[in-house]
Amino acid sequence: MTSNEAVSPAHDAPLRVAVVVGSVREGRVGRAVADWFLGTAADDPGLDLDVIDLAEVELPLVLPGWGGGPSPEAAAVLGDVSPRLAAADAFVVVTPEYNHSFPASLKNFVDWHYVQWQAKPVGFVSYGGLGGGLRAVEQLRTVFAELHAVTVRDSVSLHGPWSGLTEDGTPRDADVCAGAAKGMLGQLAWWGRALRAARAERPYAG
């Protein structure tokens, strides 16, 4: 069985969602935004959430050459996070917008993996600036398309931090933002279950 195959789960088994926190900057609000999202998503008993905080994932910036393997240090880190990505049915990426794009830490983490993303849906929670991180999300959509992942249409966009977010990183307009999160999760769950069933019936040949 290859790394992007899975044993067929029960139809009503919880959807395994890996939530990737993309910012590693000192003083970040990314973890607070992620915690708010997790609290909203916790209302759905059909989701099994696994948080991967990149501030705790120390992958080197230098990737191994073609045909080479990771260093022992990188292999140890990958030994923890890669199986969690492979086991996930879907992903939610929590990202800020840095200079009209997303953090280098997030791109590095994405690039260390490949088959783990394939034929799975990705949703986004973004924050920062007047655009609420939407430019970071639009660029991430092209990255995940290259990796054979499916990005869901709706995303959660939090403007600020000076307007849309409180000082502790939670949304000021909690009801509207919670509604956006639940809408995105509804799409993610549909795609997650549909693609999980498809992968179980016929392994993806990307």
**Residue 4: pLDDT above 60?**
no
The average pLDDT across 162-190 equals: 85
Taken in order of first residue, the domains within the chain and their CATH numbers are 15-59+72-201 (3.40.50.360)
Task: Encode pLDDT of 97-121 as tens digits.
Answer: 999 999 999 999 999 999 999 999 9
Cα(77)–Cα(60) distance, integer angstroms: 10
Predicted local distance difference test score (pLDDT) of residue 6: 47
User: Do 156 and 183 meet the contact criterion of CB atoms below 8 Å apart?
Assistant: no
Predicted local distance difference test score (pLDDT) of residue 172: 81
Nearest to 164 by CA among 116, 201, 123, 131: 131
**Residue 161: pLDDT above 80?**
no
The average pLDDT across 55-75 equals: 93
Cα(2)–Cα(20) distance, integer angstroms: 23
Q: Which residue has the higher pLDDT, 132 or 144?
A: 144
From the CA atom positions of the chain, what is the Rg in Å?
17
| Percentage of residues of the chain with pLDDT beyond 70 | 92
